[in-house]
Amino acid sequence: ETGVTQSPTHLIKTRGQQVTLRCSSQSGHNTVSWYQQALGQGPQFIFQYYREEENGRGNFPPRFSGLQFPNYSSELNVNALELDDSALYLCASSYRTGTGTYEQYFGPGTRLTVT
Amino acid sequence: AQSVSQHNHHVILSEAASLELGCNYSYGGTVNLFWYVQYPGQHLQLLLKYFSGDPLVKGIKGFEAEFIKSKFSFNLRKPSVQWSDTAEYFCAVNRAGNNRKLIWGLGTSLAVNP
C-alpha cells in the first residue's frame, strides 16, 4: 500500500455528463499527477498539481480540469464525457527527496465507464 | 517527442525460467528511468528506478535492470521467475530533475506457468 487513495473505485456515466474523481495523496507529498490508462495501454499524463497550481499538462483537452487543495488532495474533473474517456484514471503523489530526485506513488485508480 | 518502447507485449514463461523485458526510450538528454509492476487487481508499484550512478540497479523481489546509455535501453531482468511474478510490467521515463510527466511504454503482460 502506498497511502494514496482514490474514490470512487468504479463509476459509470453517460456520454455528455460530467464526472469528478478524487485523490488523497500520501502524507508529506505536495505534488499530485493524474494519468489516464486505457485498456491495453500505458498510462498517459493528464496534468500535475504542485502546491495548488497546475504544474504541467499533457495532451488533453480543456474539458479535463483539476484542483489541488491546501491539504494536497486533488480532484480531476471531466466535462462533456465521451465514450473514449472510458479508462482507468490514476493519481500519483510525489515529493522531492533530499537528493533532488522524485518518485511517484500510485493509487489504485478509478475505473470510469462511459456509455 | 519522448517515447518509450517495450519490445514484448506478451510473455509466457515457466517457473524458474529467466526473464528479460526490453525497454528503449527516445530522448537525448539525461533521464530518470523506472520499472513499475501492476499485479492483477492491484495498483502500480515501483519495482526499481535509475537516477544516476551505477547503471545496474536492483529492485524488489529479485528484479534488476541495466541502464545502457549508448543503447537508450533499460532492460528488466530476473534470473528465475515465480508464478507470483505474473503481472503487467511498465517501463517509464522522465527528464532528470523533472518531476513532471512520466512517459510510459505500452506494458508487457507476463504470465508464469507453475
Q: What is the pLDDT along chain B (114 residues), one digit of tens a residue?
A: 789 999 889 999 999 999 999 999 998 788 899 999 999 888 899 999 999 899 999 999 999 999 999 999 999 999 999 999 999 999 999 887 766 788 999 999 999 998
DSSP chain A: --S-EEE-SEEEE-TT--EEEEEEPPTT--EEEEEEE-TTS--EEEEEEETTEEEEE-S--TTEEEEE-TTS-EEEEE-S--GGG-EEEEEEEEEE-TTS-EEEEE---EEEEE-
| Contacting residues of A for B10, CB less than 8 Å apart | none
Region of poorest pLDDT, from A1-5, A110-114, B90-94: A1-5
Mutate to test the interface with A, among B7, B32, B44 (most CBs of A within 10 A): B44
**Single-letter residue type at B13:** L
Q: Residue A58: which of B45, B49, B101 has the nearest Cβ? A: B101
- Pick left, alpha or beta for residue A2 (phi over 0 → left; psi -120 to 50 → alpha; otherwise beta): alpha
pLDDT for the residue numbered B74: 97
Mean pLDDT of A32-56: 92
pLDDT for the residue numbered A102: 80
Which chain B residue has its CA at the smallest distance from A110's CA? Answer: B43
SS (H, E, C) chain B: CCEEEECCCEEEEECCCCEEECEEEECCCCEEEEEEEECCCCCCEEEEEECCCCCEEECHHHCEEEEEHHHCEEEEEECCCCHHHCEEEEEEEEECCCCCCCEECCCEEEEEEC
pLDDT digits (tens, 9 = 90+) for B50-72: 998 999 999 999 999 999 999 99
